[in-house]
Structure 1
Amino acid sequence: MGRVWRHIKDGITGVTRHFALSLSSISSVTVTLLLMSIFLFLSVNISTITKSMEQSVQIHAQISNDFEEKSQINEIQKQIEQLPEVLDVKFSSKENELDAFIRANDSEDAESLYGGYRGENNPMLNAFLINAKSGDEIKDLSNKIAKIEGVYKTSYGGSGTTDFLGMLEQVRNVGFIIVVTLAVIAVFLISNTIRVSIHSRRREISIMRTVGATNWYIRWPFIIEGMVIGLLGAIIPIVISIFGYQYLYQATGGILISQMFKLVAVYPLSLQISGILALIGIVVGALGSLFSVGKFLRWSR
């Protein structure tokens, strides 16, 4: 146990001994984790919004008047349900379609204008409302359904919906690339800080090796130093993550633009992301240290 505390003490001493370099590394980790925090919040909320949009976008497949027998309708439904991209299928009768049309034309005159078409005069077609498993599959699925015998016409939210879902995915991908790049830079800066620390203690390390100290015994103080740098760099991003997201959520009432764009609740999301940031900071610091110490020990054999 005493050896562990010595490693921890030496690691913390290494941070304070070269504070200017440590501060540079801490700043790099802070910037990286701040951007990573934004990316994580964006990613979680984009995933939630995308899922919500995918569930709200339905394919509307109208059935030809020549296929009004129950057995024919059941056969069309069976063929649609067998498509691997389909999540669920719901039948909508002519009457339901007319009611939906009247509701869509929400005005005082809608009922008087179109209500008389109920019954035998109903010009609407029976239809199926289909939900896809993924928003990326809506266009292809719509085309497949349109080819089924008895389907008169298919429609959905259109290219605007699929393009918007694709744009959200691109934002998430670009954010991921930026964060990974910054994480690599942070590892490099921490590695340089540890290299200076190793250089100042090279005589001590040489003596330790002479008396039989193992490589891991030599490594641990520097690994802990890197972990401390990473953890210190995570403090500001964690504080901003918790209070910043809470402020955004309260300021917007948890809704962006419309009910479709609902933010994920502050808790436990902000605490989960804070834990991830602390862990990433520690891992980045440890990696930077391992690279430097490993290179030094190989070179000094």
Structure 2
Amino acid sequence: MSRFLRTIKDGFLGAFRHGALLFSSVSSVTITLVLMAIFMLLNANIVRFTEIIEQSVSLHVQIQNEVDEAGIEELENKITQFVGVTTVEFSDKDNELELLIASGGEQAEELYGQYRGEANPLLNAFVINVSSGAHIQEIASQIRELEGIHQVSYGGEATEQFLVILETIRNVGFIFVLVLGGIAIFLISNTISATVISRQKEISIMRTVGASNWFIRWPFIIEGMIIGFIGSLLPIGLTVFGYSAIYDSQSTGVSSFFQLVTPEPVIWEVSLVILLVGMVVGAIGSLFTVSRRLRWTR
């Protein structure tokens, strides 16, 4: 027990022995973890936006005029069996005209109201909902191959491009955080390296009297974990209080699509990850440096 407490004590003393290096290491870890927290919260919202987009995407399938009621029912049965299709709703041409008029307001009533009844030039249609946006292109291709289909539309190209943009943001953010993590490990290594150099004589004596490499390593690993812990405090505070404040400041009239993910439990999940990553980065930086230095110290 006393050896464990001494290891912890040595770790704390080592961490605060070199103030300037400690500050640079903590600063780099803090910046890395702040950006990591931002990208993790951004990712959580991108995932939500993507799910909403995929759930809201539907196919509008126009049916050729020549198809009778029996043919329409047969088409509906075939489409229902396609993998990824959740619902198939029939909309006759009269309903299609009413939807067109309703979407255009008073001007649409003046322009298209005269086409009610026999003069209606629109086609019967299906409105098809799918389980995931990932299926929509394949389902659209299958429907186009069916006899009696006039046109299939879903705004697919714009939707897919938007999803690609969101995925690109996620990937770039992930790579950026990895690069910053590498920089943080490098700066922590410099801090630990300075500590090892300052205690080189002590380490040589410890090795002479038979101390194991791990006995020597542990105080430095604790030191790195302390640096990581200190560096994680500000990012955790910004995650918990900053994101909650941003969420609370949202206008109540904002569309549900643009509503942010509710703070809980995401802020606590992100905070836990930030804390663990900070301490692991500190431990790795310390372990790498002290192991290398121990090979040089005899």
Query: Any conservation in 2 of the 1:14–1:225 contact (CA below 8 Å)?
Result: yes
Measured after TM superposition, the shift of residue 172 of structure 1 is 1.6
Flag structure 2 segments of 5+ consecutive residues without an equivalent. Answer: none
Output the CA distance in 1 between the equivalents of 2:97 and 2:75.
Answer: 21
* Residue 162 of structure 1: aligned partner: 160
| Separation in structure 2 between the aligned mates of residue 254 and residue 245 of structure 1, nearest angstrom | 17
Inter-partner Cα distance in structure 1 for 2:223 and 2:73: 68
Q: State which drifts further: 181-190 or 243-252.
A: 243-252
| Structure 2 residue aligned with 1:227 | 225
Change (3 A) 1:40 1:231: same
Amino acid at match of 1:44: A
Q: Aligned pair 1:117/2:116, yes or no?
A: yes
1:209 offset after TM fit, Å? 2.1
Compute the displacement of 1:138 (Å): 3.5
Aligned partner of 2:24 in structure 1 is 24
Structure 1 residues 254 and 236: CA distance shift in structure 2, 3 A: farther
TM-score (ref. length: structure 1): 0.88
| RMSD (Å) for aligned C-alpha atoms | 2.6
Aligned to 2:188: 190
Alignment of 1:236-255 (within 5 A): 236-253=234-251
Counterpart-to-counterpart distance in 1, 2:72 and 2:209? 86
User: In structure 1, how many angstroms separate the alpha carbons of the residues matched to 2:101 and 2:78?
Assistant: 30
Shift of 1:287: 0.8
Offset of 1:114 from its aligned partner?
3.7
**In 1, are the aligned partners of 2:87 and 2:130 still within 8 Å (CA)?**
no
Tell me what 1:48 maps to. Answer: 48
Q: Contact between 1:117 and 1:123, CA under 8 Å: does it hold in 2?
A: no
| Structure 1 residue aligned with 2:33 | 33
Residue 150 of structure 2 is matched in structure 1 by: 152
Pair 1:101 & 2:100 matched: yes
- Residue 108 of structure 1 and its aligned partner are, at CA, apart by 8.3
2:66 equivalent in structure 1: 66
* Aligned positions, number: 297
Quick check: 1:254–1:263 contact (8 Å CA) kept in 2? no
Deviations 1:66-86 (A, max 9, x none): 33334x3454344434544x2
**TM-superposed deviation, 1:41:** 1.1
Q: Which position in structure 1 is the counterpart of 2:269?
A: 272
The structural deviation recorded for 1:127 is 2.5
Task: Give the secondary structure class of the aligned counterpart of 1:154.
Answer: strand
Amino acid at match of 2:263: V
Q: Structure 2-normalised TM-score? A: 0.88
Contact 2:115 2:121 in 1 (8 A): no
Give the match's secondary structure for 2:258.
coil
Of the structure 1 ranges 18-27 and 131-140, higher mean CA displacement relative to structure 2 is found in 131-140
For structure 1, the residue ranges without an aligned partner over 5 or more in a row are none
The alpha-carbon distance between structure 1 residues 99 and 29, as it changes in their structure 2 partners (threshold 3 A), is same
1:220 & 1:115 partners in 2: Cα distance? 85
Are the equivalent residues in 2 in contact too, given 1:92–1:129 (CA < 8 A)? yes
Return closer, same or farther for 1:109/1:137 CA change in 2, 3 Å cut-off. closer
| 1:219 partner amino acid | R
Would you say the 8 A contact 2:85–2:131 is kept in 1? Answer: yes
Shift of 1:109: 6.9
Q: Give the secondary-structure state (helix, strand or coil) at the position aligned to 2:127.
A: strand
Q: How does 1:128-139 map to 2 (within 5 A)?
A: 128-139=126-137
The change in CA–CA distance for 1:255 and 1:265 in structure 2 (over 3 A counts) is farther
Q: Is the 8 A contact 1:255 1:262 kept in 2?
A: no
